[in-house]
Amino acid sequence: MTDLNRFKLDNLFSVAGQNVLITGGGSGIGRTLTTAFAVNGARGDVSTRAGAEAVMKQVDEKVGCLDTVINCAGISILFKTPANQVSDPDSVYPTLSSVEDEDWIKTHQVNVNGPYYVSVAAIPLLRKSPNPNVIMISSVAGLVPQRGNNTFTYGVSKAGTIHLSSMLAGRLHPLKIRVNCICPGIFPSEMTASRDENGNIILGEMGTKAVKRCKMGRPGLPEEIAAPILLLASKGGMYMNDTCINIDGGRWLVMKGIYDGYRLPDDSYID
């Protein structure tokens, strides 16, 4: 007779007792995930500045094992000469030529190199877990070109994160370490929003424009990014590997329809 206990929510989606490392856990989505795992009984060791091997040494000394690694650290470097109108032909060259070597290097060091080094350094600790997994936090900007009047290096680096996730899933398969990727849309973070004196979220210009190109017409809520990631880290997600999940309120659907977004008026909202 089938054991019905296997279908209980507490059995399927519990992360209680897990050891979780979240890079970028001090702000934005990373802070949300740190909170989500903590309230569900997981133990988190969060670091964004130390080298990957130094971080793993600290984790090894404290807990000796890792169940989940979430690579959430990310930066976006804006154009130094932004275009006043993205459809203005005279703005194309000045805008693109304002991107410097350091912009590419720094963006990729944080958004691509960092997740690679952390994931690789974590392998010995992950192998001690019965359900080891790595979760990459990329972006819908890595799936389809976004409205390009503020940054170029970010989308390219996030596309690299998606491919890195897939390649690691293949390479780590013999170790039974799962690797999956999450592509969020607009969730309030230091990149897209700020808070007023009462702690209320205030979307910045980029975030305000972006949510108008989202089928939901609003930014995502903290629990809406946390829930799918808790799934990936739990027993309920054990058969998921090399998966890319969009959590964007339908933004990718809209952007696919117009492809690059350059001709979409600032105040447009597509029904």
Six-digit token pair at 184? 């969020």
pLDDT digits 0-9 by tens, 3-42? 778 777 777 878 888 888 888 755 556 565 556 555 555 5
The CATH fold assigned to 4-258 is: Rossmann fold (3.40.50)
Q: What is the pLDDT at residue 127?
A: 97
pLDDT digits 0-9 by tens, 85-101? 767 888 889 888 999 99
Residue 203, burial from CB neighbour count under 10 angstroms (0-12, 13-18, 19+): middle
Q: What 3 state SS string does 8-75 have?
A: CHHHHHCCCCCEEEEECCCCHHHHHHHHHHHHCCCEEEECCCCCHHHHHHHHHHHCCCCCEEEECCCC
pLDDT at 112 over 80: yes
pLDDT at 161 over 90: yes
